[in-house]
Structure 1
Amino acid sequence: KMVPLHTACLLLSLAPLLVLGVPPIWTQPEQVHLSYPGAPGSMAVTWTTFNETESKVEYGLLGGRLFEMIAKGGATLFVDSGKEKRKMYIHRVTLTDLKPAATYVYHCGSDEGWSEVFSFTALNDSTSFSPRFALYGDMGNENPQSLARLQKETQLGMYDAILHIGKPACHSLFQDNARIGDEFMRQIQSIAAYVPYMTCPGNHESTYNFSNYRNRFTMPGQTESLWYSWNLGSAHIISLSTEVYFYLDFGQELIFKQYEWLMKDLEEANKPENRAVRPWILTMGHRPMYCSDDDQDDCTQFDSYVRLGRSDTEPPAPGLEDLFYRYGVDVELWAHEHTYERLWPVYGDKVYNGSKEQPYVNPKAPVHIITGSAGCREKTDRFNPNPKEWSAFRSMDYGYTRMQVVNATHLYLEQVSDDQYGKVIDSIWVEKEKHGFSAWF
């Protein structure tokens, strides 16, 4: 006997629910990503479900018994501030006592639904380790041009960590009642579930006081991922929020809070015993101090807020250039501009090369790199045809940067053009016999 059409349609629509053993989607983990919580031998696993469930990670050494270890954590309810007040549960579990440089296989979730199986290599905690990074900002859901190449390279084991220098999703995590945020987090899972994905906030995360950014990511420290620092190999890496200079509605005191924190962190990193084992100090922040783009952004102004601070606050807010110079920051990584730009060593708007022949050998000022062209719906930016003398190399190609902190004296950077099928279009070695403020003289 024929089944009436409307009954057949109803049965078809129910078909997914009739398949035994498939968990309902709202208890299924998604948006899985890793981050380094700061303590040696640890890794944080973060994921999302849309119903409340347990938070468990089952894991084991590659080649050993699958999932022989279990770690438990907890979930926090995040209610997006959009009209729909969408709810999601952000789960966090920290794995501890990991063997340095050992590879682990894991999945996360609960008996109501598990993620697919991923793997990661625990970070090597030796100060003589030479970590490799991919760096970029401004990669979005639409036109994420560099994503496929980054996915493959990450899964090939080419990187120990990813530095996403602001503006995840490129448009905003909050858009469409935070569905854009969900989509972006699903998109980066193919990278971020395999290596620590370390972030800093960008301008598009500002809506609802950065709530989507603060809730979705799990960075070290107690500042809701807004600013923090961590160590890897011979580098001390500082992530900061340039956005405190631009969104004063959320509290001018944040500029001063961050500045005080930065000063303490840099003081600690510069103690002779600390700088001896981790001589490289690297910073990452979204909006650059300098750039030669033709778009009237803060970095195109001589007196940019990030560089020199704001005189219109009470008291006046200090900028970051003098602070970073005083504490001998070696390399400053930026994004925001949808271009790649490498600067000669620069301070106070002037070039301080190591020498004419070897500008990056014992440079007399910090080295700035702007890498914001990973791929975005806003396309790449245009350059000012007459850049200042500190601009060394510029490219409007889509792409991203690779960095390796090789040892205490050598650091390598190269720019990959995705438009040119992965060709390396720029590279430098920064070589320093000495680090810290005295290295400038």
Structure 2
Amino acid sequence: YVPDNAISSEDAQCHPEEVHITFGDKVSDVVIMWSTVGNCSSSVEYGPGPWGLAHRAQGETKLFTETNPNGKHYLHRVEVKDLGSSTTYFYRPTSNGVSSGPFYFKTPPSGYDWSPEFLVYGDLGVESDAISALETEALSGKYTSIFHVGDFAYNMEDEGGMQVNDTHKNDTSMDLCENKRGDTFLRLIEDFSSRVQYLTSPGNHEIDQGSFAHYRYRFSTPGTSWPIPLNKMWYSIDIGQVHFVSYSSEVFFTSDGQYIAEQEKWLKADLKQANDNRARCPWVIVLGHRPMYCSNSDGDDCTKADSKVRAGLEDIFFNYGVDIVLQAHEHSYERLWPQYKGVVLSKNYTNPQAPVQLISGAAGSKYKGDNEKARREEWSAFTNTDESLNSVGKLKIMNSTHLYWEQYNLLTKRVIDS
């Protein structure tokens, strides 16, 4: 414990914490976010080496109190635009002259003809046993970005416990902000989310009484204003040869469905444009939290014949030729055969005639695993609950015609499925 008088009050109030980055509107733009206890300025110093960071970008500060009485109240966002390709940049987030870091990140290559690799998972809570192993994997240098497909912290608006992260026992901000769970989570992932672009989708644990407040304020997404508007919790971005689309499965369960039509209209227009651009971006991959189908026995939407998510999205993804649907929510791993409305179109992945659906929602939380049904449907190619806990997906784009997927257990270091 460091007594309050050991550091100046401005240092305590303005020290940047919970640093994380994501892409801006394109992969040559990076958004840097952090929080402070006090109302302080937002700027980033950056450059190609750790010393004498010569460039500076200014940003904005938001007061965040909605469903957040005890957490840090000031959030900061700075966008650094038009960076060089394939370059490692060092940066220091700075508030009122108080900075942290330097942190670093690498920008992707320019153009389309390269092979990005991604980590994909959902359902990561502060109680996960795998965060240290996830950090090691994420910082291996292989990954262009991370996709966290919903359910953060369990829950960001809840109170956290000081015992969760005793590595910060000398951090005076723990006492200043009463250790809110959203703050705890962002501190836990900071070592890798500050260095690898961290892309997100909203899940049911972000609903937050219908406000999605912690998700909308604490994260930033490409092509949207900040805080993320309730009627724009979806986005797309081109990374190499892939057009990624993140959608909200939560429109079907919140706000009396008032955003369903708006998302559908945007999705169809975005996917039409993606199809017109297939020569450059042959892959179209979509991400959303709740699955359309699953083999679990927990009574979730994906287990039901009248699934809301399936009714709202399956035809769109099939008609617009989506290649892969990445999902989470079920605390297990499952890979489906290419199928449409329950009819299997092939038991292989050569030129599939329907989207390939994958579920990777087992990064680890207090809820552990979800059991599977005793009898699975024909469309289920592979499922695993027990060994999938503490696992993540790895997606590598090989070229314009092939990609590689595997589900990897972070603790046993074993590939569960590929």
Please state how far the C-alpha of 1:111 moved relative to its aligned partner. 4.1
Please state how far the C-alpha of 1:69 moved relative to its aligned partner. 1.1
Q: Is the 8 A contact 1:80 1:174 kept in 2?
A: no
Long gaps (5+) in structure 1? 1-12, 309-318, 428-441
Q: Is the 8 A contact 1:172 1:205 kept in 2?
A: yes
Q: Deviations over 1:370-422 (max 9, x none)?
A: 00000100011111010101111111222111001121101110010235x21
Give the match's secondary structure for 1:236.
strand
Q: What are the equivalent positions in structure 2 for 1:264-275 lying under 5 Å apart?
A: 264-271=269-276, 274-275=277-278
Cα distance in 2 for residues equivalent to 1:232 and 1:125: 9
The amino acid that maps onto 1:152 is: T
- Matching residue of 2:222: 220
The amino acid that maps onto 1:46 is: M
Cα distance in 1 for residues equivalent to 2:71 and 2:3: 27
Kindly, what percent of the aligned residue pairs are identical?
40
Q: Is the 8 A contact 2:248 2:288 kept in 1?
A: yes
Cα distance in 1 for residues equivalent to 2:14 and 2:281: 43
Give the match's secondary structure for 1:277.
coil
Q: Is the 8 A contact 1:227 1:238 kept in 2?
A: yes
Q: What are the equivalent positions in structure 2 for 1:33-432 lying under 5 Å apart?
A: 33-62=20-49, 65-81=51-67, 84=69, 88-142=73-127, 144-169=128-153, 171-176=154-159, 179-208=180-209, 209-222=211-224, 224=228, 226-247=233-254, 250-271=255-276, 274-308=277-311, 319-353=312-346, 356=347, 359-396=348-385, 397=387, 398=389, 399-419=391-411, 421-427=412-418
Cα distance in 1 for residues equivalent to 2:363 and 2:72: 30
Q: Is the 8 A contact 2:334 2:383 kept in 1?
A: yes
The amino acid that maps onto 2:292 is: M
Q: Is the 8 A contact 1:80 1:86 kept in 2?
A: no
Q: Is the 8 A contact 2:70 2:180 kept in 1?
A: no
The amino acid that maps onto 1:214 is: R
Please state how far the C-alpha of 1:86 moved relative to its aligned partner. 5.3
Cα distance in 2 for residues equivalent to 1:150 and 1:194: 13
Cα distance in 2 for residues equivalent to 1:279 and 1:382: 36
Distance 1:211-1:85 versus aligned 2 partners, 3 A rule: same
The amino acid that maps onto 1:175 is: D
Q: Is the 8 A contact 1:125 1:232 kept in 2?
A: no
Q: Is the 8 A contact 1:283 1:332 kept in 2?
A: yes
Distance 1:416-1:328 versus aligned 2 partners, 3 A rule: same
Give the match's secondary structure for 1:320.
helix
Distance 1:125-1:386 versus aligned 2 partners, 3 A rule: same
Q: Is the 8 A contact 2:35 2:72 kept in 1?
A: no
Q: Is the 8 A contact 2:134 2:410 kept in 1?
A: no
- Matching residue of 2:5: 17
* 1:30 has 2:12 as partner: no
Please state how far the C-alpha of 1:25 moved relative to its aligned partner. 2.5
Give the length in aligned residue pairs: 391
Give the match's secondary structure for 1:276.
coil
Distance 1:242-1:14 versus aligned 2 partners, 3 A rule: closer
Q: Is the 8 A contact 1:178 1:212 kept in 2?
A: no
Cα distance in 1 for residues equivalent to 2:382 and 2:26: 37
The amino acid that maps onto 1:382 is: N
